[in-house]
Structure 1
């Protein structure tokens, strides 16, 4: 959700009432950290749901001090400290903890130039308290210097159950989210309410499941890429294509992240190419920030992807009219789940004719093939021939 969209929503929300306006400000912070929280939690817990709203609500509004919201970078520091404390392969002294927290926050916000020792000590004290997570921290000494680690290496704040106070706050969070979900700008929150309800219900019987690919590689890179885009950082990316033995190393100007078919893609610019490049993040093996002038192409990516199914297109491609014929058996599915926003339909006693205006690409062809013998490509002829060729090649395997 863009800054411009947030400004429009704030303008609309502010006259309604102060609490709702504060909620929208909270949601702005949520969106700033959404990727980081969601994907760090996704890689560390069995419950891979978007906890971003929950976490920020819990830590912005503490039960013991509702008038004093937690400093916005605190939870990220807690995650870094938690990771350091559970690392049995390295001894983290205070100077190391400060450095690790600084590196993580500086990626997120380059204006952060330092973190004080006092801040880290305060964070540790909170994490050890009952209001935090009562972490089992020990502080062995080497040459009078203490290093910090968990007494139990399997402990993590990310797998601790919510307390009674937190559960009460979750209920408050759901009320705020439900209220905002009625606005067009926050319509995506309807699903989030259902996810929170399912995660924190008292019933042992689960009645809803959200599709996800918890085994997808590369999710740990998502927050780093997200902040690189926000901060306009040039990256050196090592990318391993499927059909190439040696990886590619490129200077990459990241511009956008898009999810398609349960897979995340990084879209950006490479100096040697005129068109945009997209990399599946599960094929990115290394990311390093480098110096250099960032090439910021002014592209409205919502509009850019309006004309395609999937993520593949060139800047100058134009959409064409594509006509498909579906069987009567498949027709109800196409009517209730359109192929594309431009879809137009005409049904008769023999089937359903569908017309869409999109740029042909490999994702479109794969989507058409997924319907098997329930679909026929009518036009254009070039697409009809390409789909027919793939079907003929497929038959050779049987």
Structure 2
């Protein structure tokens, strides 16, 4: 096995390179060393290490079985749809996952590690499915979601403070729009990911882009200075449901009254984190919170059907009335 200190990083960089364009051996080594320097200062790889990495990529039995021509001066996948992310774990990678799971057993019931433990269990279950093991986990997963391929490149762009040129075509657009984008944070909502940042072309500093097929392409603008965000993203997201924040939005107090005991369900899974309960006995079925009024808030309230009632503000009551009247028309004979 090749030098394993930063093998995962090298493999991911190589996979990205082979899918994007043609590289010579020296081009690959230069690209790898430039990227490794960002994460491991003053480190680089030798010619021998890169040759060993290429063997791992080509090896069909103990490697990735990648479609890389042998003895070619120019390197690129012959199958543009191939990615090592589609391949099973290598033997030593599976060992590392198993070791991580064993390590986490030392921290059972420690809230700091609960999310990581959950992710590893899901990962392990997915791997076992490929070996025809009996399925144990049936979790909420969007199998048709293609945008996940953009998550890692955008995450790295944020970490490296890279400016991007993004080609984006909305569902109703005839032609794609091209704009300069400074990515700042990623947010998941309703099993989909969104990236927020500065749309420099339109001078909008909290622009959101869904990670899906509407992103036609994006590439790094090498000679453009990255502009940091001055937004408190924690506050930004805690005062809204979902991902849409209209420019004119203002924070308002929302009061909901639940019926048929549904307030108990809301309290176990609130669609906004900072909600408050009333102390008055006659208001035990009510909650209130401060948020902006947006389509996702309306959708979440509608998900409770007849078991919820908007008490205030009046503007939200009007919106709910418009929705219920529109739905009523669907069922009028």
Q: Using structure 1 for the length normalisation, give the TM-score.
A: 0.66
Quickly say closer, same or farther: Cα 1:97–1:210, change in 2 above 3 A: farther
Aligned to 1:281: 211
The answer for unaligned runs of 5 or more in structure 2 is none
The residue that corresponds to 2:98 in the other structure is 171
2 CA distance for matches of 1:104 and 1:297?
A: 29
Find the counterpart in structure 2 of residue 51 from structure 1. none
Query: 1:283-318: CA deviations, max 9, x gaps?
Result: 211102123222212233223211111122368955
Q: Distance in 2 between matches of 1:206 and 1:239?
A: 38
Note closer, same or farther for the CA distance 1:229–1:139 as it changes in structure 2 (3 Å cut). Answer: closer
Alignment of 1:8-87 (within 5 A): 70-72=4-6, 74-79=7-12
After superposition, residues 1-398 of structure 1 pair within 5 angstroms as: 70-72=4-6, 74-79=7-12, 96-100=24-28, 103=31, 106=34, 116-126=46-56, 132-133=62-63, 135=65, 140=70, 158=85, 161=88, 169-180=96-107, 182-196=109-123, 198-199=125-126, 204-271=133-200, 272-282=202-212, 283-290=214-221, 291-313=223-245, 318-345=250-277, 352-398=285-331
Structure 1: distance between partners of 2:75 and 2:176: 38
Question: Quick one: structure 1 residues 137 and 338, their matched pair in 2 at CA, closer, same or farther if it must change by over 3 Å?
Answer: closer
Q: Deviations over 1:182-240 (max 9, x none)?
A: 55443312312432453466883212122121222332222221122112222111111
Counterpart-to-counterpart distance in 2, 1:135 and 1:77: 16
Unmatched 5+ residue regions in structure 1? 1-61
Q: Secondary structure of 1:299's match? A: coil
- CA shift in 2, pair 1:115/1:324, >3 Å: same
Name the SS for the 2:285 alignment partner.
Answer: strand
Q: Confirm or deny: 8 A CA contact 1:234 1:289 kept in the other structure.
A: yes
Q: Could you report, residue by residue, the CA deviation over 1:333-379 in whole angstroms, capped at 9, with x for unpaired residues?
A: 21321232222335979982221222222211111122222222111
Across the aligned residues of Structure 1 and Structure 2, the Cα RMSD in angstroms comes to: 4.1
Question: What is the alpha-carbon distance in structure 2 between the residues aligned to residue 218 and residue 359 of structure 1?
Answer: 27
Question: How far 1:327 sits from its partner (Å)?
Answer: 1.7
> What residue is the counterpart of 1:4 in the other structure?
none
Shift in CA distance, 183/106, structure 1 to aligned 2, threshold 3 Å: farther
Distance 1:252 1:156 in 2: 26
Secondary structure, counterpart of 1:245 in structure 2: coil
Alignment partners' CA distance in 1, 2:44 and 2:81: 30
TM-score, length basis structure 2: 0.77
- CA contact 1:275–1:314 (8 Å) conserved in 2: no
1:25-58 residue CA offsets vs partner (Å, 9 max, x unmatched): xxxxxxxxxxxxxxxxxxxxxxxxxxxxxxxxxx
Instruction: Please give the alpha-carbon distance, in whole angstroms, between the structure 1 residues aligned to 2:182 and 2:322.
Output: 37
